[in-house]
């Protein structure tokens, strides 16, 4: 990305912010526009996760005639009846359930951990160490128990796990006195990073008095270095959240870091991705109580903070 292209993007972002503010200002004066804006701003925007297992509001009344599914007899039997059953009666196995039922169970039992949980475990382990002991920075990693039961369960559960997206939406913890965060590979092993198929990066640019793009660049470099050796990435979604666009002095440096960050991601797609179009970008402009998505003539507006766009701050660890 050239300097001219990044400056052009900056002008487009500022224009989108003005259009979004104009829509919000119009909504404060017109009740019809206000109700329309509030309805749009509260719509869910997340494309992550699997479809709901419950029926939606738009379902027809045909569901009233559905016959309840007959439960297996071993689920209906009481402990007393089991004690009176003959010893020769065969037991029931988890594999007697249909594959569809087992897949639903795996979706609840096997999930990628959230970054908040990963980084919180670092602080909890750090508190358990003695302050006089020589403490390392590595976090104790473990394999979920469900993946250690048997080969068939491991094979089936891994198929469900690898169909999910792993989201990196927070900067790893800092060591006191050091200006860069811990490597992400201290929390996720390199083989695990190389085997994940669907990724989501949610990067905040322009945060703080000194910017945040240079910190996020270090985090992404750590992941991209692991992927340069081997990767299984099918889709990489990159959400870039733009903060404090009015701070021209801050963005003079942030634009340079933004260029480097985007160039590194594009270089990964060109050299190491399986096919073109693996990387998908999404830009949001954060503006106090609202967030505007770029790339539209009339920008999409969402309430801010939002669970999908805004994931929290380091104050959650205090």
Q: 56-65, 154-163, 230-239 — which is least confidently predicted? A: 56-65
317 with 201, same domain: the answer is: yes
178 with 274, same domain: the answer is: yes
Checking if the pLDDT of 314 tops 50, the result is: no
Checking if the pLDDT of 77 tops 80, the result is: no
Contacts for 280-284: CB closer than 8 Å, 24+ residues apart: 280/235, 280/236, 280/237, 280/238, 281/238, 281/239, 281/240, 282/237, 282/238, 282/239, 282/240, 283/13, 283/239, 283/240, 283/242, 284/239, 284/240, 284/241, 284/242, 284/309
127 with 227, same domain: the answer is: no
For residues 144-161, give the mean pLDDT: 86
Range of the domain at 100: 94-163
205 with 306, same domain: the answer is: yes
> What's the mean pLDDT when you consider all of the chain?
76
234 with 98, same domain: the answer is: no
For residues 82 and 195, give the distance between their C-alpha atoms in angstroms, rounded to a whole number.
Answer: 44
Most trustworthy range by pLDDT among 82-86, 210-214, 263-267: 263-267
113 with 201, same domain: the answer is: no
More confident residue, 152 or 306: 152
Question: Of the candidates 163, 178, 198, which is a domain's last residue?
Answer: 163
317 with 182, same domain: the answer is: yes
Question: Per residue in 96-131, pLDDT tens?
Answer: 888 888 888 888 888 888 888 888 777 776 655 554
pLDDT at 64: 39
pLDDT at 75: 44
Q: What is the pTM of this model?
A: 0.73
Number of domains making up the chain: 2
128 with 263, same domain: the answer is: no
């Amino acid at each position: 990305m050239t300097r001219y292209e990044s400056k052009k993007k900056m002008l487009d972002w500022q224009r989108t912010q003005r259009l979004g503010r104009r829509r919000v200002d119009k909504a404060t004066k017109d009740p019809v526009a206000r109700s329309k804006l509030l309805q749009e701003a509260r719509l869910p925007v997340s494309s992550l996760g699997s479809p709901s297992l419950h029926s939606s509001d738009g379902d027809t009344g045909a569901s009233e005639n559905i016959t309840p599914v007959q439960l297996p007899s071993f689920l209906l039997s009481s402990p007393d009846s089991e004690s009176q059953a003959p010893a020769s009666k065969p037991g029931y196995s988890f594999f007697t359930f249909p594959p569809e039922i087992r897949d639903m169970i795996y979706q609840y039992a096997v999930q990628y951990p959230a970054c908040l949980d990963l980084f919180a475990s670092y602080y909890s382990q750090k508190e358990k160490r003695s302050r006089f002991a020589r403490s390392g920075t590595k976090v104790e990693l473990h394999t979920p128990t469900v993946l250690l039961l048997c080969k068939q369960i491991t094979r089936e559960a891994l198929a469900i796990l690898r169909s999910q997206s792993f989201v990196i939406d927070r900067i790893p913890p800092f060591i006191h006195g050091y200006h860069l965060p811990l490597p992400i590979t201290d929390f996720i092993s390199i083989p695990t990073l190389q085997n994940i198929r669907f990724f989501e990066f949610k990067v905040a640019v322009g945060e703080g008095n000194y910017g945040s793009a240079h910190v996020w660049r270090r985090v992404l470099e750590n992941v991209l270095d692991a992927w340069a050796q081997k990767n299984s990435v099918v889709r990489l979604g990159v959400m870039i959240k733009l903060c404090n666009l009015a701070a021209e002095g801050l963005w003079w440096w942030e634009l340079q870091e933004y260029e480097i960050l985007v160039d590194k991601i594009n270089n990964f797609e060109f050299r190491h991705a399986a096919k073109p179009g693996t990387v998908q970008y999404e830009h949001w402009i954060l503006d106090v109580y609202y967030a505007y998505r770029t790339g539209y003539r009339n920008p999409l507006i969402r309430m801010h903070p939002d669970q999908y766009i805004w994931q929290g701050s380091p104050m959650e660890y205090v």
